[in-house]
Amino acid sequence: MTTVTVWNEYRHERESDTVAEIYPDGIHVVIADALSEAGFETQTATLDEPAHGLTEAVLAETDVLTWWGHAAHDEVRDEIVERVQQRVLEGMGLIVLHSGHYSKLFKRLMGTTCSLKWREASESERLWVLEPSHPIAAGLDEYIELEDAEMYGERFDVPAPETLVFTSWFEGGEVFRSGCCYRRGNGRVFYFRPGHETYPIYHNEAIQQVLVNAVGWATPGDGPTPTFGNYEPRESIALSDDRTVH
Ligand code: ZN
């Protein structure tokens, strides 16, 4: 069974009454509940736990990690970022949510600034499904409509995604690549835009469906473990005299 670790910065919920009203136990609990209802084994981890809750042991048993952070990206220790990145390269799936676009982890995996335009004006957002046959779009309508959203606008400074599953349109006129699939090493990475802390986005059924689908998609496959380095020929071939074979 797929084991999911739901990571959350978990600061806004403890510092703002507005956010606490929407997510009394934290964003991570709402996401974890939706995922376990769908049949995944879930656990949570937060910034203020030792090692941010992401010990070697936790990561070793994690098939897919979800990441929500916003106000304290800088407090995530570099050695933990390195540890998570290594697990992604080994094959762990990663789902980066909303303001996680600016996390150390996502910026490192993308290699770009991951900057974007933003505006907080409770405007509506329509997320159009661009790839209906993609597993992340399973069970959805042609679009998801969110009444109140924070705007994220292009340009979003990320590498061109391997597959773009959603594009958002905002009431104010901007567009945004909202569902971006990548592979890094053996790991699958999905960036999903919705999820501002002052709107009840993660209570939305369609959004929960996307999260469930994304965990399924990002679950490691069981392909071969690649070997690297100097390699003996599979067939009998002539080696040049000056070549050293170790
Ligand atoms: Zn936000």
Q: Would you say residue 69 lies in a domain?
A: yes
Give pTM, 2 decimals. 0.95
Helices (H), the chain: 12-15, 17-22, 27-37, 56-60, 78-90, 104-110, 205-218
Distance 102 CA to ligand 1 centre (A): 11
Which phi and psi (to 5°) does residue 223 adopt?
-70, 175
d(CA 192, CA 212): 12
- Residues having C-beta closer than 5 Å to ion ligand 1: 99, 150, 196
Distance 24 CA to ligand 1 centre (A): 18
> For residue 62, what are the domain limits?
3-111+178-221
Distance 241 CA to ligand 1 centre (A): 62
Distance 215 CA to ligand 1 centre (A): 22
d(CA 232, CA 130): 45
Q: Would you say residue 118 lies in a domain?
A: no
Please report, for the domain that includes residue 95, its CATH number.
3.40.50.880
Strands (E), 172-235: 175-184, 187-192
- The string of pLDDT tens digits covering residues 135-187 is 999 999 999 999 999 999 999 999 999 999 999 999 999 999 999 999 999 99
Q: Would you say residue 146 lies in a domain?
A: no
The terminus-to-terminus CA distance of the chain in angstroms comes to: 41
- The string of pLDDT tens digits covering residues 7-37 is 999 999 999 999 999 999 999 999 999 999 9
